[in-house]
Amino acid sequence: MERRTIGAATLEVGAVGLGCMPMSWAYSGSRQRGEESLRAVHRALDLGSTLLDTADMYGPFTNELLVGRVLKERRAEAFVSTKVGLLVGEQHIVANGRPGYVKRACDASLRRLQTDVIDLYQLHRADPEVPVEETWGAMAELVRAGKVRALGLCAVGARAGRRPGARLHDTTIRQLERVQQVFPVSAVQAELSVWSPEALDVLLPWCAARGVGFLAAMPLGNGFLTGTLTPGEGFERDDLRARHPRFTAEMMAANQPIVATLRRVAHRHGPSVTPSQVALAWILTQGPHVVPVPGTKQERWVSQNTTAAALRLSPEDLAELATAPVAQGSWD
């Protein structure tokens, strides 16, 4: 698989990563499919998809434990990125950016991941109660201590229930400018997909201008852009899509023309090419610093998604994708 660099020339990863979140969090049925998930992670490494994206809060904790079982055997083949700063409470998810907490959380992640170094340590959300420089300073100390190789910042939905958009990205840029004064940012992670392209306006150019990598979260629109979901199909209560405004039957029907556009482009490349592969290939055309992290717990989807790295979209394909309608359904 093509390789891409995240932030610095020494941080090299396969062009398509693996989002491990659906193996333990956010999607219904996640918790029952551990063995299948393990096979999916192994398959990713077999195919050169080296970036494994997890977080301490996924599960909570079980996602790192799962990734750790693979790292124990294949650490040298993997690039592990995890996250700190969010805690799953009884009622709510809360931010904690206190320096002492961050250092303890890192040690706990290292234990769960069965490794002595995390390749990319990302701040999941800034804590409104703690100046971001203080949190970032603690993370920088972890780099100096050799526990972490590089730092990243996530910008996915600043407040629960809000989609990222112009306001979130303005806030993120201000945060990025502040933390850059403390220690270099190697990567930014934010939502980017054919139906959520807002990051192209400000965040991607900011990263490109500074040699910062960009991890595209939710690159398949939480599964919608794969074309495998049918409008009206119900989601269980523990599935994030049960509350997501774009996943009501009405909005799923209204957004079908976006999938149809992906499908038309896919057919141009042959009968076996899928909308998912086109959606990922589109992200890869947005810059050499961009790495999509499609989430899945299924080996078959890992195989399909990694193949997207070899799909070359033509100017005609890109022009057609640019005509896809703006997605309907918003958190606001």
Ligand X SMILES: NC(=O)c1ccc[n+]([C@@H]2O[C@H](COP(=O)([O-])OP(=O)(O)OC[C@H]3O[C@@H](n4cnc5c(N)ncnc54)[C@H](OP(=O)(O)O)[C@@H]3O)[C@@H](O)[C@H]2O)c1
Active-site residue numbers? 58
> Tokens 């996602």 map to which residue?
63
Task: Confirm or reject binding of residue 214 to ligand X (CB under 6 A).
Answer: no
Task: Confirm or reject binding of residue 7 to ligand X (CB under 6 A).
Answer: no
Q: Which of 6, 11, 13, 19 binds ligand X (CB under 6 A)?
A: 19
Q: Note the residue count of the chain.
A: 332
Integer Cα distance of 85 and 74 in angstroms: 27
3-state secondary structure of 284: helix
Task: Confirm or reject binding of residue 252 to ligand X (CB under 6 A).
Answer: no
Q: Which of 171, 256, 286, 298 binds ligand X (CB under 6 A)?
A: 298
Could you tell me if 331 and 158 are in contact, meaning their C-beta atoms sit under 8 angstroms apart?
no
Segment 220-249, which members bind ligand X (CB under 6 A)?
220-223, 226, 228
The angle that helices 166-180 and 132-144 make with each other, rounded to 10 degrees, is 50
Pairing of strands 12-14, 3-5: antiparallel
Task: Confirm or reject binding of residue 262 to ligand X (CB under 6 A).
Answer: no
Integer Cα distance of 5 and 288 in angstroms: 8
Task: Confirm or reject binding of residue 317 to ligand X (CB under 6 A).
Answer: no
Task: Confirm or reject binding of residue 189 to ligand X (CB under 6 A).
Answer: yes
Shortest reach from residue 138's CB to ligand X, in Å: 19
CA dist list (Å): 309 to 47, 109, 186, 253: 11, 30, 22, 29
Stretch that binds ligand X, among 43-51, 109-117, 180-188, 217-225 (CB under 6 A): 217-225
Integer Cα distance of 121 and 142 in angstroms: 9
CB neighbourhood size of 129 (10 A): 10
Site track 44-83 with ligand X (rule: CB under 6 A), x = hit: ---------x------------------------------
> Binding residues for ligand X, per CB under 6 A?
19-22, 26-27, 53, 124, 154, 156, 189, 217-223, 226, 228, 276, 293-298, 301, 304-305
